[in-house]
Amino acid sequence: MAELKTRPGPTDPTVFINTLSDEQRRSDCLALIAMLQEITGAPAELWGADIVGFGRYAYRYASGHTGEWMVIGFSPRKQYLTLYIMSGFDQYEDLLSRLGKHKTGKSCLYVNKLADLDQSVLRELAARSVAHMRATNPPSAGK
């Protein structure tokens, strides 16, 4: 199996965030860094060129392939601010119904801006996802 290309690197995520031309997007990203660091107790790490991740967990597929990935993260994509809710959304319908304007994919929460969301609901969603990931996955040796 091919090795995962997206990995945490040495770049400070705020350096990347400060290169964003959209002031609102920069502000939202800095707010997410503060929120997710508080929830996870882990520092922000830049994964690849444009994903800000927090914490790490180890995974093993049935094939035997192992690796590590972030517990939670986000990326300021061109169209949406994408939050990576690694536990998925099946158990969070109650929160999603109160969250505000958003779209979801398998583990992606797509939003235009944080102001579209109920911040207390977003915080609860993130905290519950992080707790779920930590309860169901071993921590990575990396961090």
Copy the structure tokens of residue 55: 């914490």
According to the model, what pLDDT value does residue 1 have?
Answer: 44
The 10s digit of each residue's pLDDT in 17-66 is 999 999 999 999 999 999 999 999 999 999 998 999 999 988 877 888 77
Average pLDDT over the chain, rounded to whole? Answer: 91
According to the model, what pLDDT value does residue 4 have?
Answer: 59
Q: How many domains does the chain have?
A: 1
The domain in which residue 48 lies consists of 13-136
Residue 95 maps to a domain: yes
Residue 8 maps to a domain: no
Q: Which residue has better confidence, 75 or 69? A: 75
Q: What is the pTM of this model?
A: 0.90
Copy the structure tokens of residue 28: 């939202």
Residue 6 maps to a domain: no
Residue 142 maps to a domain: no
Strand order in the sheet with 44-47: 44-47, 51-60, 66-76, 81-85, 108-111, 103-104
Contact 36, 44 (CB under 8 A): yes
Q: What mean pLDDT comes out for the span 96-124?
A: 97
According to the model, what pLDDT value does residue 65 have?
Answer: 78
Residue 60 maps to a domain: yes
- The label of the residue with tokens 């958003």 reads 102
Helix, strand, coil share of the chain (percent; to 5): 35, 30, 35
Residue 39 maps to a domain: yes
Residue 120 maps to a domain: yes
Residue 1 maps to a domain: no
Q: What mean pLDDT comes out for the span 80-89?
A: 95
CATH number of the domain bearing residue 72: 3.90.1150.200
Q: What mean pLDDT comes out for the span 78-103?
A: 95
According to the model, what pLDDT value does residue 68 have?
Answer: 86
- The label of the residue with tokens 């109160």 reads 98
